[in-house]
Amino acid sequence: MTAMTGGTDVKADAGRIKQEILDFIHTYGCEQAPDESFDALARDVFTYQYTYDLPYRRYCAAKRITPASLRDWREIPPMPVDGFKHLTLSTIPTDQCEAVFMTSGTTHGGAMRGRNFHPDLEVWDESMIVPFRHFIMPDRDRIRIAVISPAWDMNQNSSLSRYLTKAVEQCGSEGSGIYFDEHGLKFDGIIDFLNRAVADQEPVMLMGVSSSYLYLLDYLHEHDLTFALAADSRLFDTGGFKSTKRDITEDQMLDELEQTLGVPRHHCVNMYGMTELSSQIYDQNILSWYTDGTSNYLKANPSWVRTVFLDPNTLTPVKDGETGVIAHYDLANWNSCIGILTEDLGHRTPDGFLLQGRAKGAEARGCSIAVDEVISANRG
């Protein structure tokens, strides 16, 4: 792709890139794509972003990585997540974007929120629903869903809110609903939903952030309520205990949920997502349960996302099994940066990868240096 600056050129190139990504998603789904196919499209997306995303181009140029010098997709510089707070990363003018998803976090200097701009949501929606059906719904097309976190109509700057709403639209059966409003959880509606599920013994799914489950558990304990949901019911959570005061681990929460709702651990699944990404990553336990009766709780990607683990100091790849800072390369993230350097730690195994928490102290050194490099490359 040649560097072009006209509005017509960027729109034409954006349309071509989008279609290539949609074709890739529809061709490979959640199966492993050939390395050469991923590499070819990753290079194309990088060239497009290098051409039209000026802050990202400055960062890559400072690291002496250009489309001409690139030998492999792994050399594409991943943008630190804090870069989305300090820079406007978009190939399309932001006033022409249909949506902007924003993080909920703040910095010490005030309310600086990470932003991920989307000219339209066609690729985002497809990158959401294909893995959702694969990892969460391998045994059925639809299920009765209760969402216990804010939906799209409450927060159109939240990628999770859109995610939850799309899940209900695409995979929810009759009786599905949103049980969260401006006042918080709609406990009466949730209890009615659970009572109906027990009465007709129809499998259901609850979906929400971990903190919503904690508030629900507190309410159920306070009112001495337990339920025995039907076999094949499932609980879907997105992690995150930031806003809660209750000291509890994920395993403890899942034990309480099993005792209170009757859903076994192998039907509780966690989704890993980020505002800065356009795709999500999943536990494999529901898929593995319906595939061969096992429970594989390690994370897995769809075909258009590759995850690498980097030495915390040098940001060079570590060997499989060694702990590293996580970087994701998401082809669906076509408008901002294909590579995202997270602040999370993990390691790869032959059956998936394991998250090990947030990088802190010395472990976060490489991330901090990368942020400094981003700001320095764009200063002035």
**What is the chain's mean pLDDT, rounded?**
92
pLDDT bin (cut points 50, 70, 90) of residue 374 is confident
Percent of the chain with pLDDT over 90: 83
Dump strand ranges (E) for the chain. 79-80, 99-102, 115-118, 144-147, 177-178, 180-181, 184-185, 204-208, 234-237, 268-272, 281-283, 299-300, 305-310, 324-330, 339-349, 352-358
Q: Residue 36 carries which side chain, given as an amino acid letter? A: E
Average pLDDT over every residue of 23-52: 97
Q: What is the pTM of this model?
A: 0.93
Average pLDDT over every residue of 280-295: 97
d(CA 321, CA 354): 10
Query: How far from chain centre, in Å, is Cα 262?
Result: 27
pLDDT bin (cut points 50, 70, 90) of residue 105 is low
Classified as helix, coil or strand, 28 is helix
Average pLDDT over every residue of 130-150: 97
pLDDT bin (cut points 50, 70, 90) of residue 107 is very low
Query: How far from chain centre, in Å, is Cα 220?
Result: 29
What pLDDT was estimated at residue 166? 97
Least confident of 78-82, 250-254, 317-321: 250-254
What pLDDT was estimated at residue 157? 92
What pLDDT was estimated at residue 3? 40
d(CA 284, CA 55): 36
